Chain A
């Protein structure tokens, strides 16, 4: 069965510093990977997905099949990036999306 691991529950950086939120997964087939974000008092929403290979709000994530990782990166963090971030995986053609436990990012002024 697929599993998603986010090793850091909490991550704190200063504004303007680079940030990397780690995500590792275990799945033997071809997965589709996502990052979801939940800002304070808002609902969970999609941030980006690996197949679109786009940058959203300055964030990027590259799927590394060799290391089974899908780390989320941003070169210069902003205070408004403070939120809860969840990495998620779904097998291609499947409906069962699995989420990691989440990382709370705090960007300090």
Chain B
């Protein structure tokens, strides 16, 4: 594909439900990032992958958040037992190795009721 693809674009979950958000990066991009963007705020770093290795997960807010990228391509961000404070747009980005530019997906907007 031409860019980073994320699905679903919109997700409404009841408090306590588990959700899974998918990111399909640009083909060949080794590095992949997840960010959380709350309303009115800038993107907040969650986690970073290089190929299938999760090299940094320091931004994950709690152990309910889990990310994986088992084959070094598609990544999934899973949130267990969702809470209202998890409501946000979750952005995925992949990075071009030659100059480090980040390419963002359109985001997955999660609303927890």
Residues of A within 8 A of B104 (CB): 43-45
B18 CB-CB contact with A under 8 Å: no
Evaluate contact between A95 and B31: CB separation under 8 angstroms.
Answer: yes
**Residues in chain A within 8 A of chain B (CB atoms):** 4, 6, 9, 32, 36, 43-46, 49, 86, 88, 95-102
A50 to chain B, nearest CB (A): 12
Query: CA separation between A95 and B93, bound complex, in Å?
Result: 12
Known contacts A43-B3, A44-B91, A86-B42: A97-B102 contact under CB 8 Å: yes
Evaluate contact between A101 and B41: CB separation under 8 angstroms.
Answer: yes
Across the interface, A43 reaches (CB within 8 A) one of B55, B100, B107, namely: B107
Contact with A along B98-113 (1 / 0, CB 8 A): 0011111111000000
Residues of B within 8 A of A86 (CB): 42-43
Query: CA separation between A36 and B35, bound complex, in Å?
Result: 14
Contact with A along B74-100 (1 / 0, CB 8 A): 000000000000000001010000001
Evaluate contact between B105 and A43: CB separation under 8 angstroms.
Answer: yes
Residues of B within 8 A of A49 (CB): 101
For A4, A6, A32, A102, which residue has the most chain B Cβ atoms within 10 angstroms? A102
Evaluate contact between B106 and A96: CB separation under 8 angstroms.
Answer: no
